Amino acid sequence: MQLHHYFLQKHPLTAVLAAGLIALAACFGLGGATAHADRWEIFDQGEHLFLPEGPVEVDGAVMVPLRSIAERFGYTFVSVNNKEIVLTPQEGLRTIIRLGTKTALLEYEGGAKIQLMAQIPRNFNGAWFIDLALAGAMGGQGHSTVPGTNFIQLRPVSGDAKEQLERQYWFSFKDKGQTVFVNNQGQEKLQTLYTSPLDFGYDDLLPVKKSGYTAGYMNRAGELAIDAPHYQLGLFSEGLAWFKDLVNTENGGVTVRMGYMNRAGKVIIPGIYNRAEDFSDGLAKVTRAGKTYYINHNGQMVIPPIPGLQNSESFSDGLAAVTVRTTAGGKRILRTGFIDTAGKWVSKPIYESATPFSEGIATATLNGKSGLIDTAGKWIVKPQYSSGSTFLGQFRDGHILLTLRGEHDYTHRLVDTKGKIITVPGTGQLAGFGDGIVSYNDTGGYGFKTVAGQVIVKPMYSYMWNFKAGAGKGFIDYNDVYEAHLINKAGKVVWSTGMLE
């Protein structure tokens, strides 16, 4: 959900109101957005690609479904066998993808070239995936990443790509009994009676409710594209979304059963799990009959139950934080480390605690003090902050919040990926950070300013959601009646609701 524990930590003065919103989202039954914060968004000629599957990240390589990319670029499939896939582009020359290898042959007028791939082609749910190097080569322009974003362009747009692509993000608001979706320019893109507390974001399908009950997935035209009246539904990640059902047991009780469906609404992995989380890095964490393990897109167990497991996280940056019970000095203790997608320990369980990786960095605690580590387990910032001073959440847009506790109070500071503490001039208390903009609290209200200290919005909001996709949300409390604003980076309110109960 858009409002999560990180928000509570960043906004202590609004914890009660935030808790109410979290309860609302929990009742709605939607998956957490945190797991989706770092996923790649694929664009071609400025248009966001709604891929039926994926993208999938395998050991750091982003992979996309071959058929969707090939057909968009004008290719026709000639043959598919267990050795190779042959395609013909509009010009009539061939592209040969050699299965089981990291090479493909691209013919062109006057010759041919070998295209190297970071990963061999993979098959998920009967669909072949290729890495971005080959996808970009098939498009004729390679591929590029927009700096400072998770945007990948196959055929780039000209001008300010980030600004153009962010306009395709849809923010969600509740207004006059409807759910309204607005882009960062304040343009209303969709009004619907289906309800959702989540932004549409860059997605093509959003889990929604109607009359208080789960209806299924709505598309960007406002249509119920997938009729899926399960108890709860998750967001799509890597082309699959979890569903949750409540099933009656023989003794008259109720138990949870979870599985996964694809964007066509077809159940790909049956509802046999007691717990199932979003796919990331090609794997999902599931629990069945008291055992926790990781499965692939075909529902096959890839990483079996880990001995001594006490807790584990979903994969990010190719690694998953795992806490196990171990022995040290003759005592049984809990320690955390990181495994790769093959289930091997990359960083042995030596930390007293550690967070999942984001943007290649994780926080870790050793001997009662916290620091920052990279994916190789090397300290970027050696453990130096006591248990009373902690990092909050994960890295977003190259920064993380650090709480420094004094004798009688605390302060929040911004820390970059090198561990440098950044002082934002004239800020009473930092509240959060996103999209290059800090939120801060002063004189009893919340406002926005740049890292350099330039005020964008004076403290006037009861609470806010941090900037993303070029805009931020602010909410004003008029004696328990609220007004919501969407604010751009110039501090202008580009859209607002009426008064909300």
Q: Is the pLDDT of residue 227 over 90?
A: yes
How far is the C-alpha of 100 from the C-alpha of 134, rounded, in Å? 15
Q: What is the CA radius of gyration of the chain?
A: 24
What is the structure's pLDDT at 408? 54
Report the percentage of the chain scoring pLDDT > 70. 90
Average pLDDT over residues 385-403: 77
Phi, psi of 472 (to 5 degrees): -135, 155
Q: Is the pLDDT of residue 499 over 50?
A: yes
Q: Is the pLDDT of residue 455 over 80?
A: yes
pLDDT tens digit sequence for 332-382: 999 999 999 999 999 999 999 999 998 889 999 999 888 899 999 999 989
pLDDT tens digit sequence for 288-310: 999 999 999 999 999 999 999 99
How far is the C-alpha of 428 from the C-alpha of 50, rounded, in Å? 42
Beta strands in 81-126 (DSSP E): 84-88, 95-98, 103-108, 111-116, 122-124
What is the structure's pLDDT at 353? 92
CATH number of this structure's domain 284-313+316-422:
2.130.10.120
Average pLDDT over residues 81-110: 90
What token pair was written down for 150? 């998770």
**Residue-averaged pLDDT of the chain:** 86
Instruction: Judge whether 400 and 393 are in contact, CB under 8 Å.
Output: yes
What is the structure's pLDDT at 8? 32
Q: Is the pLDDT of residue 186 over 80?
A: yes
> Of 99, 130, 100, 108, nearest to 117 (Cα)?
130
Average pLDDT over residues 375-393: 82
Q: Give strand pairing partners of 319.
A: 316, 340
For the chain, give the longest Cα–Cα distance: 75
305 prior amide bond cis, ω within 30: no
Average pLDDT over residues 444-473: 91
